[in-house]
Amino acid sequence: MKTRIFSFLSLTCILSISIFLTGIAYAGTPVSLEKAQVSLHVEPNPIPVGDLALVTLTTSQNDRLMDVEFMNKHIPYYPLGKNKYWFFLVAGLKTEPGRYPLHVKIDQTDRTVTAATTIYVEYRSFPMQNLTLPKNMVNLKGRILRRVLTDERVIERTVSKVHKKILWIPPFIWPVKGKIISAFGLKRILDGEPRSQHRGVDLEAPYGTPVKAANCGKIALIRNCYLSGRTVIIDHGGGLYTLYAHLSRVYVRQGDYIDRGQTIGLSGQSGRATGPHLHWGISYLGIRIDPQAFMSILGER
């Protein structure tokens, strides 16, 4: 069972199993393998496709973490007491199952070492759903298509920004209490044509249900999109964002700082939706992840 984290101090409880990193390079020059004085714990391990893992790293006394790199991305990291750090790793929907190197650069006072270990990403199957919609909602053309593409660019540009300061405080909460009616990763077939996988979860929410902020943050974007309707994006810091779509009303303004549990709007059916509900998404470093998996690690009890 995945560990739930409710305070930064409680992260230390998952340090019981450590992996010694091997493969040392001094100042970028490869040398023979030897154990580095660095321990690592990944939860969950291996990482399922579409999931996010919480990583804790411990260095030797007086050593300092300088850089983390995974899947060609420099990963934000944060201190967790003396010689301890935490960070996230994510395997997106398009990540192929397999072995991926994780590199960490450590300042050891008189030298800099780069340690490497292997992170495993495991296969995950996703359900399939056939839907029938009016043709004008499936085959987008002209002005509507241009609007959809513009919406997508604006959203992706927003969630790709990384502001290092962490604004959230564990735990995260579900924005509404309704059950999941459409899961993350769902492969949708619209009028017989395959479409992109579902990049969030659809939550049952009758029209006008108050929608709560999952955690503290800053309103990064409010936009009336063709597909997702009235959409709000919250920046929680460190490259972590939550997205709320198909709202009927919005009660916040772009740039507002908000608290966990604050009502940001009401659920609805705006955009392309077959009925009232809340689409809730989570993005980390521009990659969408499974909200259920995320909440199993960082969610409320």
Question: Could you read off the pLDDT of 65-117 as tens digits, one per residue?
Answer: 999 999 999 999 999 988 899 999 999 999 999 999 998 988 887 788 888 88
Residues 138 and 93 occupy one common structural domain: no
Residues 144 and 72 occupy one common structural domain: no
Task: State the pLDDT at residue 30.
Answer: 27
Residues 163 and 141 occupy one common structural domain: yes
Residues 14 and 73 occupy one common structural domain: yes
Q: Is the pLDDT of residue 179 over 80?
A: yes
d(CA 94, CA 111) in angstroms, rounded, equals 37
> In this predicted model, what pLDDT tens digit does every residue of 249-267 receive, in sequence order?
999 999 999 999 999 999 9
Residues 22 and 93 occupy one common structural domain: yes
Task: State the pLDDT at residue 189.
Answer: 72
> Last residue of a domain, which of 77, 106, 122?
122
Residues 150 and 79 occupy one common structural domain: no
Please give the model's pTM, rounded to 2 decimal places: 0.86
Q: Is the pLDDT of residue 18 over 50?
A: no
Q: Is the pLDDT of residue 42 over 50?
A: yes
Q: What is the mean pLDDT of residues 115-132?
A: 84
Note the residue count of the chain: 301
Residues 118 and 172 occupy one common structural domain: no
- Determine the Cα angle at 238 with ends 237 and 244, to 5°: 50
Q: Is the pLDDT of residue 276 over 70?
A: yes
Task: State the pLDDT at residue 36.
Answer: 63
Q: What is the mean pLDDT of residues 39-45?
A: 89
Task: State the pLDDT at residue 187.
Answer: 79
Task: State the pLDDT at residue 21.
Answer: 40
Task: State the pLDDT at residue 28.
Answer: 47
Residues 143 and 250 occupy one common structural domain: yes
Lowest mean pLDDT among 22-36, 160-174, 202-216, 282-296: 22-36
Residues 231 and 189 occupy one common structural domain: yes
- Grouping H, G, I as helix, E, B as strand and the rest as coil, residue 301 is coil
Any idea what the CATH number is for the domain that residue 23 is in?
Answer: 2.60.40.1930
Residue 1 located in a structural domain: no
> Last residue of a domain, which of 94, 122, 150?
122
Query: From residue 15, how far is each of 68, 212, 287 by CA, in Å?
Result: 18, 33, 26
Cβ atoms 290, 184 nearer than 8 A? yes
Residue 77 located in a structural domain: yes
> Last residue of a domain, which of 89, 122, 155?
122
Domain count, the chain: 2
Q: What is the mean pLDDT of residues 111-129?
A: 86
Cβ atoms 22, 115 nearer than 8 A? yes
Q: How confident is the model at residue 135 (pLDDT cuts 50, 70, 90)?
A: low
Residue 150, sorted as left (phi over 0), alpha (psi -120 to 50) or beta, turns out to be alpha
Cis peptide bond N-terminal to 171, omega within 30:
yes
Q: How confident is the model at residue 54 (pLDDT cuts 50, 70, 90)?
A: very high
Residues 107 and 162 occupy one common structural domain: no
Percent of the chain with pLDDT over 70: 83
Residue 2 located in a structural domain: no
Residue 3 located in a structural domain: no
Q: What is the mean pLDDT of residues 143-152?
A: 93
Any idea what the CATH number is for the domain that residue 225 is in?
Answer: 2.70.70.10
Task: State the pLDDT at residue 10.
Answer: 46
Lowest mean pLDDT among 191-195, 198-202, 273-277: 191-195
Residues 175 and 271 occupy one common structural domain: yes
d(CA 287, CA 267) in angstroms, rounded, equals 24
Full domain range(s) for residue 97: 9-122
Please name the helix (run of DSSP H) or strand (run of DSSP E) that holds residue 39, with its range, or none.
Answer: strand 35-43
Residue entry with tokens 């919250």: 234
Residues 117 and 133 occupy one common structural domain: no
Residue 194 located in a structural domain: yes
Mean of the per-residue pLDDT values for the chain? 85
